[in-house]
Structure 1
Amino acid sequence: MNRGTELDQQKVVQLDRGLFFVSYKSAEDLAAPPRVMVSPAPGHERRIELVLHPDADEAVLWQPNSALVVRVEAPATLLVQVLPMRHGGSRAAAVRIEPITPGSPPTLSRTTMAFAPTAAAPASALTQDVGPGLRLLAHVAGLGDVMVGQNSWIAGPTAPSRVEGIMLDWPDIPAGLDIRYAVQFANPQAGNSKLVPLGTFAGTRGRALPITGIVLEMSGPSDLQFVAEAVFLSAPTLRATGRRVVLSGPTGREPLVGLRINVESVQPIEDAVPVQPEASKASRKEASSGRVRVFRSRPRQDVPAATGSARSTHP
């Protein structure tokens, strides 16, 4: 490797006073990626400080996803040099230099220092106080991991966004109650439709694989049931109740873009209609003589099904 070859891959970067993050993003040859050397230009050594990892003894980034920090006291020149790992090896590498800004102290008056969210902020982004009971964590595209408490939307009708994974948790879960859940994808994936216990993440992160179905199951005390709502892309909001709930779009391939889960007590069945006393013979005879006979039926009772059923509701 001669000096001329090294200089061909050298970049000169002008930096102002500040703090900078130098990251080795990618390389064409992952089997033998080139190394990236960072150094001050001659004469600028006193203006630049290189902050290395405690285990590193030189400013060299050996592979993608490695990084270091550059501190610049005054405008200076930084040299970034890419060297092949072996003779004739690849010298194609992507290196990014980004400023790190500390921000500035706020100058807002007391009347404008509000902690409430603005109207533009989705409610699902507020995770400071989820309260007791069932908790729902979801990995949402563009937001990352978001956690809410019972009966609160993640994404949803007013702020739909692709949900790629979920986790349920319940620190103070009632004794004897067991909850399991599963996610489904449009195409076969590892973990597809596999039921997992509380505290287990089901789905993916950062792979752009939206969930297309949710399964919720519980066992234990019979006086509890799920009340779940889901929004799938280009479909009405679904609502399902029961001890086993299955939610999916019309075709089973629509991405999940909103989810709300609650656990509630099962509504007791109303008392049976009391039996009317037997009519006297005279009254029966009188009634039978007429041409029109009226039969009084019991009021219809709605009995919750053992398996959750979903129906469309417009948000």
Structure 2
Amino acid sequence: MNEAEQQRALSLDRGLFFINYKSAEDSVSPPRVIVAPAKGHERHMEIILHPDATEPTLYKPNSGLVVRVNMPATLQVQVQPTKPGGSRSAIVRVEQIQAGGIPSATDSDSGMGPHVATEGLKVLGHVAGRGDIVVGPNAWIAGPAAPSRVEGVALEWPDKPLSVDIRYAVQLANGQTGSGRMVPLGAYAGTRGRALPLTGVVLEMSGTDELRFVAEAGFLNAPTLRAVGRRVVLSGPTNREPLVGIRIGIERNATAEVAATPAPPPSRKPSGGSPRVRVFRSQQRQIGAAR
């Protein structure tokens, strides 16, 4: 197995994080967990060890270390067996630490405050016969109460966290020019005044594991579709039905789990069972964090 198959990359915003080695599948010979900045991110973070530790390696469950991130950066979490053919299955929890009652730099600089997921997003939709309509998060444009052909969309989020990147695309009837082309936040995707309905919408978010899209769409003669995730694809049963209503919101993940399942060596399966490293990103709270 190569190194890339045994490690997980985590994008962290500015702040203080506790890396907690929670448990291992093999309690007798648990794998070790190695923590390090991603290449090129060494100057963006500092790893704080226990006074008796000499390297950023956790050798058994119920151990941990602290990472101080000065600017958004990527942390590598790698799991290695302690003996040939040993288990490589471990659960690691990443918990953000905040000083109680003191506004954090994460809240002010990157925008990852407790209410960021429900504030500030604006969605524009161009509706046939009605023109441009602008709504807030989780509000319908056209939709079940007033279905009408939607010909284009645009998203605005002035208070977007700096680390978050959002792109989106629309599918146009008959594969017209511009169909499927990803555009950045603020750009208009679709047409106006050409009677070309949308037949699909794609939303993508990167730079965070803490936020996700929650979107619903109505397509002509089809049930309302709901999708949740950092990448959302909305389309009708045959991908040809016109879009007649849409609403888009962004929310904080209630439980954000990142799991990596490395493949076993081709020659034999490790005796410790199926190898995996499961990394949990915890939601913020006043002291410590728990997901």
What's the TM-score once normalised by structure 2's chain length?
Answer: 0.47
Rg comparison, structure with higher value: 1
The TM-score with structure 1 as length reference comes to 0.43
Structure in which a larger fraction of residues adopt strand: 2
